Amino acid sequence: MHSIPTFALVVFLLSRAWSSDCRAQATTADHPKHVPEGFSLQWQPNFDDDGILQQLEFTDAKAWRRSNHEGRAALELVGNSRYTSKVRSPSSIALLTTRRFGDFLIEAELLQTGRDYGHRDLCLFFGFQDPGHYYYVHFASKTDPEANQIFIVNEKPFTKISTKTTAGSQWGQNQWHRVRVQRLGTKISVWFDDMTTPAMLAEDASFGAGYLGFGSFNDSGMFAQVRVWAPAVEEVERNRDLFKAKDAARAASAAEFRPIFDGRTLDGWKALNMSYWSVEDGAITGQSTPQNPCTQNQFLVWQGGDVTDFELKLQFRATGNGCNSGVQFRSQIRPDGLAVGYQADIYQSGPYLGGVCDELHQRNGPELLTANGSKTVIDASGKRTPTKLAGTATLKPPGEWNEYHITAQGQHIILRINGVTCSELIDQEMGHYDLKGILGLQLRSGQPMKVQFKNVHYRKL
């Protein structure tokens, strides 16, 4: 038996120890301590590679791009997607449709690049079956029943299923945030920055294995450093028609105006307090009385999803309270039922009739952005430049029906009453113009009144 020199033996043992340590570190990197036993790294996209875009399906591919920010290769959502969902739910979605995950753990870094407001958001999607059946985590600045929660979309507008959440996901400015979503059986856990304590919890068994993805309700942002662990993954053929087929059907139907009120019921319309709303004379009717006074503005919201570029035609009439009402569009509904955003105004006469208001927005200057008989251009700094139009709106005698025609395309809004172009708005004010949101009808607080809407027809542009 040959003896081994002492120096050679030491080198041999040290090399064995170094090799074992390297393997341990590699194993730890692929399987961190917080990853459940039996899970392995299944997907780690390289956003430096242009080919990544060929692995994903988008509601609107033009809204997405690859980017690099502070050394992080990222998938970036740059703006609103031109996509309208069947029910109210997120519109900007990018999905990996070549793999389906049941139990999983996904980690990512997120950077929100949109304007600062309560529902400023980014989302992670999972259990995605089709555009009418999926789960998503909504990370938003402030929490309410429609924000910063875990939601399910199941053939009806998104519904909160989270049993725990925080006061909000604080995005800050130009800040990356680490997030984690884990699904084990029916249990869903979510972390935001603090990886020791879940920020959100939920339990639901509606959907099994499905696609994973990224997106937003109607904001912009970046997704980087994505890793997905799972005990197994179902390899499937890429689903290229997941959104396209529905888009084609929607595009065909959007070419013509379609009724969004059936003339008999309030199906497809909803308000926080339905006691003010009914159907009379074949019309949506909002009414306050001495017995049922309206102390806060009420809004009846169409449940057909957010509107972007569109035309709306309807007939209206009002009595009492100065005939004060309006049509809300591209707006947000607060938890207390109040609307924030554009309103096509209704009033008995004067500058508000047929003007565009910015309901409850925090701008410098009056809420009336452009008045009856005016075209107003608002530049990026908020400076307003009005010019006169040829005509002004007037209402027909009490009891007669008036016609409202609203056109919103990009930052250009045109209002017509009884065939007269009564106001135009080009709104470029940074942080304040809205390109997407709900469509609703207003019953104004104050003295008893009655407002009615009928023959409500909508088309997407």
Average pLDDT rounded to a whole number, residues 60-89: 89
CA distance 211 to 94: 10
- What is the percent of the chain where pLDDT is above 90? 69
Which two three-digit tokens encode residue 244?
């396209």
Query: Contact 321/444 with Cβ under 8 angstroms?
Result: yes
Higher pLDDT pick, 339 / 257: 339
What type of residue is 382? G
Average pLDDT rounded to a whole number, residues 138-160: 94
Backbone phi and psi for residue 361, each to the nearest 5 degrees, phi listed first: -75, 155
Pick from 152, 129, 150: nearest CA to 208: 129
Which two three-digit tokens encode residue 163?
């049993």
Higher pLDDT pick, 183 / 233: 183
Which residues does residue 333 pair with via DSSP β-bridges, in sequence order? Answer: 339
Backbone phi and psi for residue 191, each to the nearest 5 degrees, phi listed first: -120, 145
Pick from 455, 453, 451, 454: nearest CA to 286: 451
- What is the percent of the chain where pLDDT is above 70? 91
Average pLDDT rounded to a whole number, residues 338-351: 93
Give the lowest-confidence range in 69-73, 143-147, 401-405. Answer: 69-73
When computed from its CA atoms, the radius of gyration of the chain, rounded to whole angstroms, is 27
pLDDT in tens, 173-205: 999 999 999 999 889 999 999 999 999 999 988
Give the lowest-confidence range in 50-59, 254-263, 405-414. Answer: 254-263
Pick from 122, 126, 42, 48: nearest CA to 90: 122
pLDDT confidence of residue 29: 53
> What value does the mean pLDDT of the chain take?
88
Neighbours of 222 (CB within 10 A): 25
Residue 30 confidence class, pLDDT cut points 50, 70, 90: low
Query: 431 Cβ partners below 8 Å, 6+ apart?
Result: 115, 116
pLDDT confidence of residue 245: 54
Domains and CATH numbers, the chain: 34-252 (2.60.120.560), 256-460 (2.60.120.560)
If DSSP codes are grouped into helix, strand and coil, which group holds residue 29?
helix
pLDDT confidence of residue 381: 87
| Buried b or exposed e, range 396-406, using 16+ CB within 10 angstroms | eeeeeebebbb
Residue 79 confidence class, pLDDT cut points 50, 70, 90: confident
Q: What angle do CA 224, 228, 229 make, to 5 degrees?
A: 155
Q: Given a cut of 60, is residue 17 above it in pLDDT?
A: no
| Buried b or exposed e, range 363-395, using 16+ CB within 10 angstroms | eeeeebbbbbbbbbbbeeeeebebeebebbbeb
Backbone phi and psi for residue 352, each to the nearest 5 degrees, phi listed first: -75, -30
Q: How far is CA 305 from CA 91, 104, 156, 290, in A?
A: 9, 30, 10, 34
Q: Given a cut of 60, is residue 319 above it in pLDDT?
A: yes
Q: What angle do CA 449, 257, 316 make, to 5 degrees?
A: 15
